[in-house]
């Protein structure tokens, strides 16, 4: 304890000297792949809120999106003790989906619309889904545009792409990279 006081006393008694910092070297900053998005509070920019998925049975769909895929339940709206609407948040971000009970006789066909859910450990996630009983007709594979994909269906037949794009996610085009990948021995053996 005495030593600590002695050191403190010495540093307090020492004269203060002004050090001049060396000028920092100019280093070109790397441009991020994903640009920061402006706040939507100004009301001038359109933002994406959520995707609405019409389903025959909201409770059954919750079993898929929440229990299988890991989405977090935000809201479960019930009418006459039956779940008719549920809002869920993606487990790895702020993206949300809403499950809405479709009207009687409504078609569940959603040609032209597909959900894309990204996860880095795509293979591990697929094994986890299979261990929970999900049927995955074909495992993850490299697509011509350079992303790894696997396609699955929800209980109402809505197609979902589980994928990993990594650095290629926000590139305008990845077709050149895909052509290069297609020439590799690993891609030819899939």
pLDDT, tens digit, 9 for 90 and up, residues 150-162: 999 999 999 999 9
Provide the CATH number for the domain around residue 148. Answer: 3.30.720.110
Rounded distance between C-alpha atoms, residue 70 and residue 91, angstroms: 6
**Whether 133 and 164 share a structural domain:** yes
**Whether 190 and 117 share a structural domain:** yes
- pLDDT band (50, 70, 90) for residue 183: confident
Residues of the domain holding 69:
48-103
101-152 pLDDT, tens digit each: 999 989 888 777 899 999 999 999 999 999 999 999 999 999 888 889 999 9
Domain count, the chain: 2
Cβ-contact 117, 69 below 8 angstroms? yes
Residue 155 sits at the vertex; the CA angle it makes with 122 and 87, to the nearest 5 degrees, is: 80
The model scores a pTM over 0.85:
no
């Amino acid at each position: 304890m005495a030593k600590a006081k002695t050191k403190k006393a010495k540093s307090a008694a020492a004269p203060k000297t002004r050090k001049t910092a060396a000028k920092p070297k100019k280093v070109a900053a790397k441009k991020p792949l994903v640009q920061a998005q402006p706040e939507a509070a100004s009301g001038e920019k359109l933002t994406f809120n959520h995707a609405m998925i019409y389903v025959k049975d909201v409770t059954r769909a919750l079993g898929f999106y929440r229990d299988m895929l890991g989405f977090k339940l935000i809201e479960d709206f019930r009418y006459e003790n039956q779940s008719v609407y549920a809002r869920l948040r993606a487990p790895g971000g702020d993206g949300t989906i809403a499950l809405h009970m479709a009207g009687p006789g409504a078609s569940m066909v959603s040609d032209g619309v597909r959900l894309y859910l990204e996860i880095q450990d795509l293979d591990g996630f697929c094994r986890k889904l299979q261990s929970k009983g999900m049927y995955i007709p074909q495992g993850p594979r490299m697509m011509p545009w350079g992303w790894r994909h696997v396609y699955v269906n929800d209980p109402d037949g809505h197609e979902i792409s589980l994928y990993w794009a990594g650095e290629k996610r926000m590139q305008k085009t990845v077709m050149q990279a895909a052509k290069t990948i297609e020439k590799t021995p690993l891609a030819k053996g899939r």
